[in-house]
Structure 1
Amino acid sequence: MYYDSSVLPTVAEILDMPVVQAGEPRVIGGAQGLDRPVRWVHVSETVDLATLISGGELILTTGQPLAYGAPATGAYLESLAAAGVAGLVVELGRYVAELPTFVATVADRLGLPVIALRRITRFVEVTEAVHRMIVADQYAELEFAHSVHETFSTLSVRRASLEEIVKTAAALLDSSVVLEDLAHRVLAVSARHTSAAALLENWEATSRMLPDDVGSAVPVGPHTQRWGRVLLRSERIPSARARMVLERAAQTLTLHRMIEKDRFGLHRQAQTGLIEDMVAGRVIDEQEAVARAATLGLARRARYVPIAVRVSAVSEPDPVARQRRAATLLDAAGHGVALSRATALSAADEQQLTLILGLGRDGELDPRLEQVCTALAAELRRTDGVQRIAVGVGADSESLLDAARELAHAAHVAEIALALESTVPRSFYRSGDVRLRGLLSLIRNEPGVQRFAETELSALLRHDIRHHGDLTPTLRRFLDLAGNKTDVARRMNISRPALYDRLSRIERILGVDLDDGEIRTSLHTALLIRDLTAGPDGP
C-alpha cells in the first residue's frame, strides 16, 4: 500500500475528535510532541508494553502502569519514548486519581505527550473512530496513487508532449510545476495560482539555489544520463504525494525523450528505419543495406554522401503542427533532390533533415554537391516559418554503411554552421569550415557539457547572486582580453588595485590560479557554453 505519514492524524488532531473531547482531555506534559503522526491506537495496561509495539502508536490506559510508584512510572515513560510511541492517554479515576507533577517533568524531557482524561471514556469508541480515519486516509492515498499511475501510463501510450506531461503533474498537485534542463533553462512550465511570468522571474538564480535532494525536485533522464529536473513550486502539498507525482512525471518525460515521434507514412518510415538500423549497427552487411536502399529509391553503385540539414524556424507550440511542418520539410527536400536529378534516403524531425545522397561516381564531387544542396535549400526556404538553414556534409564513400556512420558527424557540422554568424553563407559546410564558438554550440546541450560549465562556474555565480556582485562579468572581460590587466581595468573603468582585488576574490571563490593557462582556457570555455545556453535574454 502507498504509505504517507504526512496524511496520518496527529496526536493533537485525535485529541480534537468529539469522542476524545467527551473525556475532557488535558495535556500534562510533552506538548512539543503533539504534532506526531499516529499510526495506530493501542489499549494496554501492560507495564512492559515497549517490547510489544513498533512505534507510532497512541497508547490508551486506565492508569494501572502508573500506579506502582515514581521509579516504576518514570521507567515506564522512558520505555514508551524509546519505543517511539506517539503519545500516552491516561484515564483518571480507577488506578490514579491525579498524575503526579514529576510525570509532566519527565514527559517534557522526553517530548512524549501525556494526556489525562478526567471523565470515563469508552476506549473502544476511540480506537474505532481513529482507525476508521487512518484506514480511510490510507485508502484515499492508495486511490490517488492508482489514479496517478493510470494517468501517466495513458500519457506515455499516446506519446503526450512535454508540455502536456508537465501540465498534468501540475493539475494533480494543484501547484506550479517546471521542467528545466541542466543549464537551468525552462523546457516546459505549468503555472497554478500565479502567472508564468511571475513564476519564472529570475528563474536561473532561483533554480540554482534549489538543491537536488529535496522532495520538490526530481531528476529527469536515465540514472547515468540525467538531462534535466522537474520541480514543484509550492509548499502546500504533502511531500510524499508530491514526490510520487513528480517521479511519475519524470519517468514519463524520460520515456517521451526516448521515443521517436515523427514518422510520416510507410515509405518514410521504412527510410527512417533503414537509416536508424545502419547507424545503430543493426545492419552490418553492405549488400543487404544497398538492396534495401534500392527498393526505397537510392541508386546502386553510387558515391554516397551523408548530409544533414539544420533548420531554424518560427517556434510552433502545437505538436501536431510541428509534425506537419517536419513532413512538409521532408517533402521539400525530396523535391529538391529530384530537381537536381539525384537520389536519397531521408529522415526528418522538427529541426533537422538527415539524408544519404546517391551521386554519380564520375566527375568532381563538390560542384555536383553544390548543385544538389542549392536546389535543396531553395525548396526548403519556401516552407512557411523557415528562417535559416545550414547543410553539414560528412565524408563521402562508395560504401553505404560507411556513409551512414558519418551522418552523426554531418549533423554536428550542420548544427555548428547554423550557429555561425556568416555574412556569406555557404551552400554546404564541412568540419573545416566551422570555428570554436560554433563547435561549442554543437555540444552545448549535452548533459556532460552543461555539468562541466556548472562545475567550473557555479560557485562564482552563486556568490554573485547572494551578494549582487559583478565578479562573473569581470572574469569574462579578463578572459576575453587574454588576461591583459591594464586593458581590462581601462575597459571596465576601474583602478588596477580594484581589479586586482576582484581577481583575487575570483581565485579564492573558484579555488583557481588565473595565471595558469589551462585554467583560463577551461573557464573561458565554460563561459562560452553559458553564453550559448543562456538564450537571448541571458547574461
Structure 2
Amino acid sequence: MACTRRAIVIRGERWGWLHVIHSSDALLRTDQHAIDRTADVIAISVLSAREVGAQAAQRENALVNRLLLGDISGDSFITRALRLGKDLRGRPLLAVCAVKEATTGRLDQERLVDACRAAALPAVVADIGDHVMAIVGLARSQDEQQLAERLSSEELRSGVSRTCPSAELSTAIRQARSAASVAASRAGREVVRFDDMGLLRLLVSLSEGPELANYVDDELGTLLRHDADSSHPLLPTLRAFLENEGNKSKTAEQLFIQRRTLYYRLERLNTLLRRSLDESEVRQGLAFALRGLDLLRRGRDSAVQPRV
C-alpha cells in the first residue's frame, strides 16, 4: 500500500493535509488531478464555513449590543434570536459575562461559545468590548451548575446572573456584569454567581462612582502612600493579618516571619492607620476597604481608581 498526500492551503497558509491510501502502483494523472481538485474543494468549504461563522458572530454581536443599549426588549430579543437559529423560547434565561484575557490562545468569544455548546445549551454570544456576553437558555435545574463547570474548564473568569424570564434580561445583564467585575478582581480564574456575592454587591455599586475610591483612600490612603515609597511594604502584612482574623501566630506562619517581626510591623500599621488592629470593628472596616481596593485595582468595570 502507498499514501499520496496533498496540502490543503487556505489563503496562502497550509491548513492541513489530504491523505489518499492506494495500491503501490503509481497513480494515473487523472487520479492525481482528482486528488488536487478534492484538496481545493476542501479548502473552499472550510473557508466558506469560516465566513459563514464570522457573519453569524457579527449578527449575534449586533443583537446583544442592541439589547444592551435598550433598543429592543427582552421579548423582542428572543424573537430575533430565533431568526439566528438560537431557540431560547420558553426557557429560564441567564446572562454570562466573561472577562477578556490577554492570552495568545483561542479567542474568548470562541471559548464561551464552546462552553455553552459543551453544556448543550442554546446561547447568543457577543463581544461587548472588555467582556464577552452570552444570553443562555436553560432546560433543567442542573444546567446552571453544568454551565459553571464548563466555564471553569475553559478557564473563563466569569460572572453569572440569576435565572430570569425574557422581560428581566436587562436586570440579568447588570447582575452578570457586577459578578464579572468581582471575578476580575480575584487572582484565580473564577466563576462568580451574583447570588454568592453578598456584601460585594454593594462594593460594585459604589465603584461606579467616587464613593468607593474615597472610602479606600480614607481607610488605607496613608498605608498605600507609605508602600509606594518604601522597599518594605506593609499591605501584605495587613492583608494576611485580616485573612487570619487577627490571629498573630497564624499570620506569622503564613508570612514566614518571626512573631517579633510581626509585632513590629503591626505597631507600624497601627501608627500609619492611627487605629488599633486589636479592635474587631477596625479590622472589619479595613477588610471591607481591602476588598474595595482589589475591585478598583483589577476590576475592569471600575471607572475610578483609588487615590494613592
The C-alpha deviation readout for 1:413-443, integer Å capped at 9, x for no partner, is 3554573759xx8xx653455688x989978
Displacement of 1:303 in angstroms is 1.0
Query: Would you say the 8 A contact 1:489–1:496 is kept in 2?
Result: yes
Q: 1:522 to 1:406 in 2, by over 3 A?
A: same
Larger radius of gyration, structure 1 or 2?
Answer: 1
Cα root mean square deviation, aligned: 4.8
Distance 1:464 1:332 in 2: 39
**Whose relative contact order is higher, 1 or 2, with alpha carbons under 8 Å and at least 6 apart?**
2
- Please point out which of 83, 86, 108 is paired with 1:295: 83
Displacement of 1:267 in angstroms is 4.3
Question: Which SS does the other structure have where 2:156 is aligned?
Answer: strand
Match of 2:62 in 1: 273
Displacement of 1:347 in angstroms is 0.7
Displacement of 1:406 in angstroms is 0.5
Percent identity of the aligned residues?
24
Distance 1:476 1:376 in 2: 29
Match of 1:430 in 2: 193
Displacement of 1:517 in angstroms is 3.6
Question: Which SS does the other structure have where 2:87 is aligned?
Answer: coil
Counterparts of 1:508-527 in structure 2, within 5 Å, are 510-512=273-275, 514=277, 516-527=279-290
Question: Which SS does the other structure have where 2:260 is aligned?
Answer: coil
Equivalent residue letter for 1:519: V
- Please point out which of 502, 508, 519 is paired with 2:268: 502
Equivalent residue letter for 2:287: H
- Please point out which of 365, 374, 386 is paired with 2:141: 365
Equivalent residue letter for 1:348: D
Q: 1:513 to 1:407 in 2, by over 3 A?
A: same
TM-score, normalised relative to structure 2:
0.54
Equivalent residue letter for 2:66: D
Distance 2:271 2:203 in 1: 30
Query: Would you say the 8 A contact 1:416–1:441 is kept in 2?
Result: no
Q: 1:499 to 1:365 in 2, by over 3 A?
A: closer
Q: 1:489 to 1:513 in 2, by over 3 A?
A: same
- Please point out which of 85, 95, 106 is paired with 1:307: 95
- Please point out which of 409, 426, 440 is paired with 2:175: 409
TM-score, normalised relative to structure 1:
0.35
Equivalent residue letter for 1:409: Q
Displacement of 1:402 in angstroms is 1.0
Q: 1:511 to 1:306 in 2, by over 3 A?
A: same
Displacement of 1:291 in angstroms is 2.6
Equivalent residue letter for 2:268: R
Match of 1:198 in 2: none
Distance 2:247 2:151 in 1: 47
Q: 1:349 to 1:454 in 2, by over 3 A?
A: same
Aligned length: 241
Query: Would you say the 8 A contact 1:460–1:471 is kept in 2?
Result: yes
Question: Which SS does the other structure have where 1:365 is aligned?
Answer: coil
Question: Which SS does the other structure have where 1:283 is aligned?
Answer: coil
Question: Which SS does the other structure have where 1:308 is aligned?
Answer: strand
The C-alpha deviation readout for 1:31-50, integer Å capped at 9, x for no partner, is xxxxxxxxxxxxxxxxxxxx
Query: Would you say the 8 A contact 1:342–1:359 is kept in 2?
Result: yes
Are residues 1:389 and 2:168 paired? Answer: no
Gaps of 5+ in 2: 1-52, 300-308
Query: Would you say the 8 A contact 1:441–1:529 is kept in 2?
Result: yes
Equivalent residue letter for 1:288: S
Distance 2:111 2:235 in 1: 46
Question: Which SS does the other structure have where 1:355 is aligned?
Answer: strand
The C-alpha deviation readout for 1:31-74, integer Å capped at 9, x for no partner, is xxxxxxxxxxxxxxxxxxxxxxxxxxxxxxxxxxxxxxxxxxxx
